[in-house]
């Protein structure tokens, strides 16, 4: 597949040297996820935060590295857990990242920004089920503790949508200010509809999602005479530290149940190729079970569908479904309703006028979700701290 190149940005020489001893104003964007060739939502978000902030200040991105081309970006990149990363965190004027172990202020005067876009505590509830082990209960308690700490001690808090902010504010005791930064889209030109009836599942198949309903719907459509195929873009998350091996056997069973109409790439799609893969499809699908996670998630894969101009079938509830329904980006369906999902896919594959209208709506709203637009509140907050430094 052809790669989708990132937009050029001017290189800021100062961002190549964070001067700790002189306390030069600088920013560290921190993620526990993988950054580089293959990235999931948290890594992509951190990467773009670093890119946009590098326009106004020296930036270091700290994360788990995967074939990073260090000289191709206007910010420094360093591996999490290394002496260089620890030194960057200690010397940073501003720290930005999700609540993680050890990610706290290192000295007086530092500003810390906690990004709460990913509702990890709600994901873990679904991942561990109703009878978690002792180790899992400890992990869940630790994550709640980190969220509580972030709500209490941050200088600035980030939510990705109003509903997320309301949820966290109901738990918040202090008066830390909030900004909203949704996920963003990479710039891309006008999209041509794919001639193939490929339905694309753009991310993983985690426990809080509902890939089985997508498989059943595609199988049903083929048995009714409508030829189409479901493609999972990746079966293993790039960050192996959060993957449980027991998922693999379940995914094999899922593929077997959908054969020969369902397939999956063995590896996570490289970051710069993902939009080309999406554009090979005609419909994007993102289904979830009716859980608290669904209520407060934003579904990062939606924004790739917006970038690629791919109409969406989405389960009702949550930010993604509300945006799809309000802006006419596709069809919203009830949870776990195979008939409704099949009918939605059928309409998008066979009703050319409706499909084209959805594509026009995707292209219409795309500029509002450009990364330089959605990160503007964060950039302005950092710029204000820089002026006061």
Q: Residue 220 above 70 pLDDT?
A: yes
In this predicted structure, which of 270-279, 301-310, 325-334, 352-361 has the lowest mean pLDDT?
270-279
Q: Residue 113 above 50 pLDDT?
A: yes
Q: Residue 240 above 80 pLDDT?
A: no
The pLDDT of residue 194 is 64
Rounded distance, CA 35 to CA 75, Å?
13
> Coil, helix or strand for 76?
strand
303 — phi, psi (to 5°)?
A: -75, -30
CATH code, 198-368: 3.40.50.2000
The pLDDT of residue 10 is 31
What residue spans define the domains of the chain? Answer: 13-183+371-388, 198-368
How confident is the model over 286-311, as a mean pLDDT?
92
In this predicted structure, which of 91-105, 143-157, 193-207, 249-263 has the lowest mean pLDDT?
193-207
Q: Kindly indicate the confidence band of residue 353, based on its pLDDT and cuts at 50, 70 and 90.
A: very high
The pLDDT of residue 159 is 96
Q: Kindly indicate the confidence band of residue 161, based on its pLDDT and cuts at 50, 70 and 90.
A: very high
The pLDDT of residue 247 is 58
pLDDT digits (tens, 9 = 90+) for 8-43: 323 333 333 333 334 689 999 999 999 988 898 999
Percent of the chain with pLDDT over 90: 59
Alpha carbon of 236 to those of 40, 102, 139, 179, 246: distances in Å?
10, 27, 22, 32, 12
pLDDT digits (tens, 9 = 90+) for 254-282: 888 998 999 988 788 888 888 888 888 99
C-beta of residue 338 within 8 angstroms of C-beta of residue 213: yes
Whether the CA torsion 45, 51, 56, 61 is positive or negative: it is positive
278 — phi, psi (to 5°)?
A: -65, -40
Does an H or E element contain 247, and which?
A: helix 246-258
pTM above 0.85, yes or no: yes
pLDDT digits (tens, 9 = 90+) for 35-70: 988 898 999 999 999 999 999 999 999 999 988 766
Phi-psi region of 58 (alpha: psi -120 to 50; beta: other; left: phi over 0): beta
Helices (H) and strands (E) in the chain, counts: 15, 13
The pLDDT of residue 193 is 60
The pLDDT of residue 327 is 97
The pLDDT of residue 277 is 86
Q: Residue 82 above 50 pLDDT?
A: yes
CA atoms in the 13 A half-sphere facing the CB of 171: 15
Rounded distance, CA 72 to CA 43, Å?
17
Q: What rounded mean pLDDT belongs to the chain?
A: 86
Q: Kindly indicate the confidence band of residue 242, based on its pLDDT and cuts at 50, 70 and 90.
A: low
Q: Which CATH number fits domain 13-183+371-388: 3.40.50.2000, 3.30.310.50, 3.60.15.10, 3.60.10.10?
A: 3.40.50.2000
Give the DSSP letter string of 166-212.
Answer: HHHHTT--S---EEE----B----PPPPPSS-EEEE-S---TTB-HH
Rounded distance, CA 324 to CA 302, Å?
9
C-beta of residue 318 within 8 angstroms of C-beta of residue 299: yes
The pLDDT of residue 155 is 95
13-183+371-388 and 198-368, same CATH topology:
yes
Rounded distance, CA 148 to CA 50, Å?
25
The pLDDT of residue 23 is 63
The pLDDT of residue 18 is 37
Rounded distance, CA 336 to CA 341, Å?
8
How confident is the model over 153-170, as a mean pLDDT?
93
The pLDDT of residue 163 is 92
Nearest to 76 by CA among 86, 88, 90, 67: 88
The pLDDT of residue 13 is 35
The pLDDT of residue 186 is 85
Q: Residue 7 above 80 pLDDT?
A: no
């Amino acid at each position: 597949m052809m790669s989708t190149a990132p937009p050029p940005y001017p290189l800021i020489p100062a961002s190549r040297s964070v001067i700790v001893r002189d306390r030069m104003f600088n920013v560290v964007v921190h993620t526990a996820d993988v950054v580089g060739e293959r990235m999931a939502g948290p890594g992509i978000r951190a990467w773009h935060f670093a890119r946009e902030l590098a326009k106004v200040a020296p930036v270091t991105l700290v994360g788990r590295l995967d074939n990073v081309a260090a000289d191709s970006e206007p910010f420094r990149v360093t591996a999490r857990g290394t002496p260089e990363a620890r030194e960057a965190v200690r010397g940073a004027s501003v720290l930005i990242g999700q609540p993680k172990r050890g990610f706290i202020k290192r000295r007086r005067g530092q500003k810390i920004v906690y990004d709460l876009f990913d509702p990890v505590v709600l994901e873990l509830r679904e991942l561990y089920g109703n009878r978690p082990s002792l180790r899992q209960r400890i992990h869940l308690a630790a994550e709640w503790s980190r969220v509580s700490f972030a709500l209490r001690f941050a200088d600035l808090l980030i939510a990705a949508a109003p509903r997320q902010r309301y949820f966290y504010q109901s738990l918040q005791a202090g008066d830390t200010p909030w900004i909203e930064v949704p996920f963003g889209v990479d710039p891309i030109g006008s999209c041509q509809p794919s001639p193939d009836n490929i339905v694309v599942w753009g991310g993983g198949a985690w426990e809080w999602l509902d890939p089985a309903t997508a498989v059943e719907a595609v199988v049903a459509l083929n048995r009714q005479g409508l030829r189409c195929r479901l493609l999972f873009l990746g079966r293993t998350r790039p960050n192996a530290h959060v993957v449980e091996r027991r998922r693999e056997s379940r995914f094999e069973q899922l593929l077997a149940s959908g054969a020969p109409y369902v397939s999956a790439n063995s590896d996570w799609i490289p970051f710069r190729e993902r939009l080309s893969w999406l554009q090979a499809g005609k419909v994007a699908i993102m289904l979830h079970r009716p859980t608290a996670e669904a209520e407060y998630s934003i579904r990062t894969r939606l924004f790739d569908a917006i970038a690629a101009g791919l109409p969406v079938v989405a389960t009702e509830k949550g930010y993604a479904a509300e945006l799809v329904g309000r802006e006419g980006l596709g069809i919203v369906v009830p949870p776990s309703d195979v008939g409704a999902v099949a009918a939605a896919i059928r309409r998008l594959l066979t009703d050319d006028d409706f499909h084209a209208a959805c594509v026009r709506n995707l292209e219409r709203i795309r500029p509002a979700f450009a990364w330089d637009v959605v990160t503007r509140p964060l950039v302005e907050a950092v710029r204000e701290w820089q002026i006061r430094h």
